[in-house]
């Protein structure tokens, strides 16, 4: 990484305040193992990605791509060598390009700078700004190389929406309109990108699991036939599978309390 990132830009990023577990979040406990610490870091950085995504007006799918890029990158490398927040910024930038929602580096830098230094003045068009920009662009290339340029993914979102429509048709329309199943399942789907479960499971399975959990949360009655609706929507899924995904997801919600 040192080859690609100039001393100035590295300094700029550390000035940005992106040391792992540094400025944001609770301090790491001594009882934490390295892996726990890493998981917490990744959680925080993914939270950073999602917040930045909202502030930049990113759609759900590019945000998901950014998170997946981040997770996949750190599956191969160590978090101690690479500055995770810088990698996150580059993943956001790259995801915007991949999912055709192009973002300007100026906006990304502005939002991230403000994330770390809240209520500060916007950056001037000076050396520090150009250093930051350089480092984001350099890191983007690094991420691409690390992932072998395999940067386009199938996301659960598309599946989820189709499943949602199909299930909706089974249910009485008034009951459906009273129950915020769509919002809940979309929220659950977005939240599952805080952890690596998004890369460990197939997109259809994640979609089914989130829909299942949402329906369960509200006690929605779905007609029963020879086969379960979720079985129909995705042939190769099992109930255990769904349960496993759901427990992973719920685990993430527990982590929130520990990490932030």
Which lies closer to another protein via its Cβ, residue 34 or residue 221? Answer: 221
CB 16 within 8 A of CB 89: no
Query: Residues with Cβ < 8 Å from 137, sequence gap 6 or more?
Result: 90, 93, 105
Task: Give SS3 for 160.
Answer: helix
Which lies closer to another protein via its Cβ, residue 5 or residue 112? Answer: 112
State the nearest-atom distance from the C-beta of 153 to another protein, in Å. Answer: 13
State the nearest-atom distance from the C-beta of 164 to another protein, in Å. Answer: 6
State the nearest-atom distance from the C-beta of 89 to another protein, in Å. Answer: 13
Q: List C-alpha distances in Å: 116 to 5, 6, 16, 222.
A: 21, 21, 6, 46
Written as one string, the DSSP assignment of 103-126 is --HHHHHHHHHHHHSTTPPPPPSS
CB 220 within 8 A of CB 237: no
Which lies closer to another protein via its Cβ, residue 11 or residue 191? Answer: 191
Say how far apart CA 260 and CA 256 lie, in whole Å. 6
State the nearest-atom distance from the C-beta of 241 to another protein, in Å. Answer: 15
Cα 69 from chain centroid? 9
State the nearest-atom distance from the C-beta of 244 to another protein, in Å. Answer: 11
Which lies closer to another protein via its Cβ, residue 19 or residue 165? Answer: 165
Which lies closer to another protein via its Cβ, residue 18 or residue 142? Answer: 18
Which lies closer to another protein via its Cβ, residue 77 or residue 250? Answer: 250
- For residue 20, report the phi and psi dihedrals to the nearest 5 degrees: -60, 130
CB 94 within 8 A of CB 143: yes
State the nearest-atom distance from the C-beta of 103 to another protein, in Å. Answer: 8
């Amino acid at each position: 990484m040192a080859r690609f990132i100039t001393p100035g830009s590295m300094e700029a990023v550390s000035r940005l305040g992106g040391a792992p577990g540094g400025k944001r979040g609770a301090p790491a406990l001594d009882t934490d193992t390295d892996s726990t610490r890493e998981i917490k870091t990744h959680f925080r950085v993914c939270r950073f990605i999602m917040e930045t995504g909202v502030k930049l007006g990113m759609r759900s799918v590019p945000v998901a791509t950014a998170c997946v890029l981040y997770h996949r990158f750190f599956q191969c490398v160590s978090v101690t060598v690479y500055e995770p927040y810088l990698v996150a910024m580059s993943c956001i930038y790259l995801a915007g390009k991949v999912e055709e929602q192009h973002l300007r580096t100026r906006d990304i830098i502005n939002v991230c700078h403000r994330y770390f230094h809240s209520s500060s003045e916007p950056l001037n068009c000076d050396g520090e700004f150009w250093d930051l920009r350089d480092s984001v662009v350099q890191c983007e290339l690094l991420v691409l190389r690390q992932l072998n340029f395999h940067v386009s993914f199938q996301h659960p979102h598309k599946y989820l929406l189709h499943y949602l429509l199909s299930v909706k048709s089974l249910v009485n329309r008034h009951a459906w309109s009273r129950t915020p199943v769509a919002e809940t399942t979309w929220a659950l789907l977005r939240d599952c990108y805080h952890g690596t479960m998004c890369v460990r499971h197939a997109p259809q399975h994640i979609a089914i699991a989130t829909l299942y959990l949402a329906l369960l949360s509200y006690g929605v009655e779905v007609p029963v036939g020879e086969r379960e609706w979720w079985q129909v929507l995705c042939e190769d899924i099992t109930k255990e599978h769904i349960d496993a995904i759901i427990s992973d997801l719920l685990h993430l919600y527990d982590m929130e309390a520990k990490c932030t």
